[in-house]
Structure formats: C-alpha cells, structure tokens
Structure 1
Amino acid sequence: MAEIDIPDAPEIEGTTHLHSGKVRDLYRIDSGEHEGRLLMVASDRISAYDFVLDSTIPDKGEVLTRMSLWWFEQLAGIVGNHVVSTDVPASVAGRAVVVERLEMFPVECVARGYLTGSGLLDYERTGEVCGIALPAGLQDGSRLPEPVFTPATKADLGDHDENVDYEAVVAAVGADAAAELRALTMRVYDTAHDLARERGIILADTKLEFGRRADGTTILGDEVLTPDSSRFWPADDWEPGRAQASYDKQVVRDWLTRESGWDRASGEAPPPLPPAVVERTRARYVEAYELLTGERF
C-alpha cells in the first residue's frame, strides 16, 4: 500500500476531526442545531498518481462543492442525497456542507458510457469490462452500445480501486441492494449524460457512492458528478482513437509525466506545480462548472 501524506486538517470550532481523504476532511459537529451531524469540507488539495501534491488549486474545493449541490438538485426526482444544510462555519463557507450520517455501501458504483481509463485496460486484456462482454474493435474514447454498470471495490487510502463484476457486489451487499445500486447508478448516469450533452459536454463515466439511512432508504453520499469523480469531455473535440481533452486534473498529470522531469517509478514525491499549471487546472474546473450550470463562478 502506498503511503499518502495528507496535510493536517484545520481545527474548526465546535467540531471534532474524524477523517481526511485526498481532498475532503470530515468532522463531527459537537454542538448547536446540527449536533451529531457531519461537516464535510472540500479542500483545494489535488492528488495525482497516489500522491497529494504540495501545490493546491485555488477555489477547487468551492467548485466541487457548488457543482455537487447543483447536481443534487437536478437529480432530486431520482434519488435523495445526504446534504442537510449549507449553513457552515465561516472558515469553510462555500466549500463545506452539513450532511447526514449514513451506513455507506462498500462499493464504488461506476457507470460508463464510453471506453477509457481502467475500463479500456480491462477491455484490451479480456474484451470485457467487469465481466460485461463488449464488441470487438473499440478504441480509447469509443461510445459503448449502451452504458454499463462497472463497479469497483473501495480501496484503502493509497491503494487503487479494483474493478469487479456484478456478482461481487451481490456478495458484498446482497442481491436486493445490488440491484437497487445498479438501477440508481444507471438512472443517474443517463440523466446526467443527457443534461451535460445539451451543454456541449460528454459525460464519459462517473463514480457514485451511496449510503443507507436508518429507515433503509438508499441515497447519494460524498460528491456527485464533479471533475474529480467523473470524466467530462468537450463534445466538439471528441474523437475516438486517442486520449480526449478533459475538464479535470489531466493538465497536472500531463505536466508531471511529460515536462517536470519527475520519475513516477522513483517513489519520490512529485515537484511543486508551476503557477501556469495551477492556473490552467483551476480554469478547467471553473469552465466545467460554468458550462454545466450556466452560472458564473
């Protein structure tokens, strides 16, 4: 397992820090109206190749939070979500939400409408993705005949999620819950894909996380349909057979592997990002937000 060095989460009055991931910090609210709820804070941290970089991307946490909130509204008729309030401490205003405590399902629910990333690697080896046979002759960026549910295990911090077949989901959560997770995932993807396409963006794939309330209701948790959890491509630039331009941290990955001189296999942490790379990355996140929502950031 790779070691992930995450900066210490800031103290927030009236809360207890519980956990930090690559991007988000989670706190328990200890007093006030939302006592016992959770405070989820999206930082400006950025990760690449299993490292949290020393450099941050200004406004990234706010973009992720605002985009998730916008999507939760669009999806309200399909599935509920964990957001209780956006009334948060001033120190994290704009990039934090108060959320419910849920029993999270131990599965990454992934929907793919296009072939790329780990799905492409699986296909090139086996002709399948997560046990689903696909037609011969597909390329990087090819649109699939129909979107598919391609779940993954939730890896520990520093490890990679591992693609699994549907039967592994059934084994993990039971047949009824697996069927519900698959159905909800595909409904969310289909709805979001069509909405994004109207705005000139292709939603190639997305990763969702679901949790269960005490009454048994399944709802969305974590983030939803952001550039950190989804692949968004400019529709007018889409061309199967090559890597696609994307609204995410690909700018960072490209700089690290092509220009920085950093050896990914060395085990050494990547170097700090140049200001121009930071600004280009911020611009891609903001552009995705503005195109999708129609709002100025």
Structure 2
Amino acid sequence: MELIRQGKVREVYADGQDVILVASDRVSVYDVVLPTPVPDKGAILTQLSLWWFRQFADLVPNHVISEDVPAEWKGRAIRCRKLDILPVECIARGYLAGLGLRSYQESGSVSGLALPPGLVEADRLPQPVFTPSTKADEGHDEYIPFEAVAERVGAATAARLRDLTLDIYARGSEIARERGVVIADTKLEFGYDAAGVLTLADEVLTPDSSRFWKASEYEPGRSQWSYDKQYVRDWSATLTDWDRTAPGPEIPADVVAETRARYVEIYETLTGEAWT
C-alpha cells in the first residue's frame, strides 16, 4: 500500500482501486498536532462515522466499501472507494459558536450570509445555514460565500452540496435531540465517484467534525458543556507559555482521561451501544 496523504489526525493509503482511511488517536488544536494521543479516539471516530453513514444511506451514497483492512488498523480504518474530492468544506450551522461566532461578531455575517443582529454565543439560529469554507492544505480554512462555491464546482453542484449538507444536519440533529444532544454545527466532505455520482466522504458527525452539546445544560450567552475536542481547546487556552505554534504541549493525564470519557459518552449516547 502507498501512503497518499497524511493529515493532522488521519492517513489515507492507496490499496489497488480502493483507498483506506485510517484514523489515529492524535489530537490537533489551532492546526497544531499535540504530542499526546487520546486512547481509542481513532476507533471511536471511525465507528461513529460508520453508524452515521447508515443513518443517511437513503439521502446520499457514501464512500464506504467495508472494514476489511490490515489487522493493525482494525476498528479504526475504513476501506473506501476513490473519489474526486471537491475543494469545499461543507458546513451546516444551527447555532452560533467557534469561528462562526467570531465572524458574526466582526461582520454580522458568516460566509457572506447576514445573520440577525443581537445574537450571542451559542444562540440558536432562526434556521440552519450553509456556511462553506475553503479547504487549506496549510494554514486556516476561510469562509466563502455560496457564489464562490458555485465558481469552484458549478452552480448545480453547489446547490446540491448545500441541500445535502442541510438535509444531513437536519436528520442528524433530530436523531441527536431525541438522545439529549444538541449538534451546534458540523463539517462534511463530498466527492464524485468514478461514475460521476456525488458521494459523502471522510467522517460524519463525529466529535472532531462537529460540536456536540449536552441539551440539559444548554444555555445561550456562554460556552457550552461539550462532548467534542473543545475540552482540549479550552485547556490549551489556559496556557500562558504556548503561542499556538508547533510543537504543541503535552496534554495532562487528567485532560486526556476526560477527553476520552467524553468521546466514549457521545458514542454511547448517540448509538445506544456500549463502547468496548
């Protein structure tokens, strides 16, 4: 097998006509990979993605072939079809948080889409919105308006990406809400397969690609209790001797343990299955 791409937390290998997507236990914040892994993180991301792919199978095809992968990657890797990945991060946002909040505070808009005045952190938006961004190989992604997506991929494909992203977010949010979880936002990737079919790729509604909040503790106007890697971000934000450039700091054992516990909890809460 040939390593064809190594990201911050994933590797992609070519294996004949297939690709194998391998999730590691690495954690990144501010685009910096921290030196301390979170045990089981890669497996949880993989298994949760597989569960979600099944929930959306009637909405859009996905790239999954099987879990037939080398033994050393068992549980944390997926055999997939090769896709021509589109150069757009497809983001659905139902609540105001993270970089979306920062963009709103600066301009009153996200991805060129004006939002109502007077919103505060974690406010629920009147309706979910599509706030796409670029996909940067280095540095930070940048929000772009819908028109820029159309310029990159064509108007018909841009509209389909928007509609699919919002449909997936809507169904995922409904499923999560029934289980006491708020999905504030999520990021999706799509590509075309060899037959020209638009296909859902990468990971889906995981703690690395989404913000999951505990519904029972939701309260606008402040940061929320989070099931995702925001816990690591919050810890790193307390550091006064790190300038958010590589190399990153070691994560303390208690932060690692709590982060793992939150990943396990969101997996079990959403799927109804015990993590083993």
TM-score range (shorter-chain normalised) is over 0.9
Considering Cα pairs closer than 8 Å and 6+ residues apart, tell me whether 1 or 2 has the greater RCO: 2
Is 1:24 the counterpart of 2:10? The answer is: yes
Which string of whole-angstrom CA distances, capped at 9 and with x for unpartnered residues, describes residues 206-265 of structure 1? Answer: 00000001222101011010010000000011110011111112222222221x443225
Aligned twin of 2:171: 191
Paired with 2:165 and 2:136, the residues of 1 have a C-alpha distance of 19
Which one of 33, 56, 72 corresponds to residue 53 of structure 2? 72
Aligned twin of 1:109: 90
2:92 counterpart SS class? strand
Deviating 4+ runs (over 4 angstroms): none
Aligned twin of 2:71: 90
Aligned twin of 2:33: 52
Checking the alignment, whether the CA contact within 8 Å between 2:38 and 2:260 is kept in structure 1 is yes
TM-score by length of 1: 0.90
Aligned twin of 1:217: 197
Aligned twin of 2:99: 118
Which one of 286, 289, 294 corresponds to residue 264 of structure 2? 286
Which string of whole-angstrom CA distances, capped at 9 and with x for unpartnered residues, describes residues 145-168 of structure 1? Answer: 0000000000113x1110010000
Q: Which amino acid is 1:61 matched to?
A: G
Paired with 2:235 and 2:100, the residues of 1 have a C-alpha distance of 24
2:35 counterpart SS class? strand
Aligned ranges 1:122-271 → 2 under 5 Å:
122-157=103-138, 159-258=139-238, 260-264=239-243, 267=245, 269-271=247-249
Query: Is there any run of 5+ residues in structure 2 with no aligned partner, and where?
Result: none
Task: Indicate the structure (1 or 2) with the bigger Cα radius of gyration.
Answer: 1
Checking the alignment, whether the CA contact within 8 Å between 1:256 and 1:262 is kept in structure 2 is no
Paired with 1:66 and 1:268, the residues of 2 have a C-alpha distance of 30
Checking the alignment, whether the CA contact within 8 Å between 2:242 and 2:249 is kept in structure 1 is no
TM-score by length of 2: 0.97
Is 1:62 the counterpart of 2:40? The answer is: no
Query: Is there any run of 5+ residues in structure 1 with no aligned partner, and where?
Result: 1-14, 30-34
Paired with 2:72 and 2:23, the residues of 1 have a C-alpha distance of 12
Q: Which amino acid is 1:264 matched to?
A: D
Paired with 2:107 and 2:29, the residues of 1 have a C-alpha distance of 27
Q: Which amino acid is 1:248 matched to?
A: D
Q: Which amino acid is 1:296 matched to?
A: A
Which string of whole-angstrom CA distances, capped at 9 and with x for unpartnered residues, describes residues 164-197 of structure 1? Answer: 1000000100001101111111100100011100
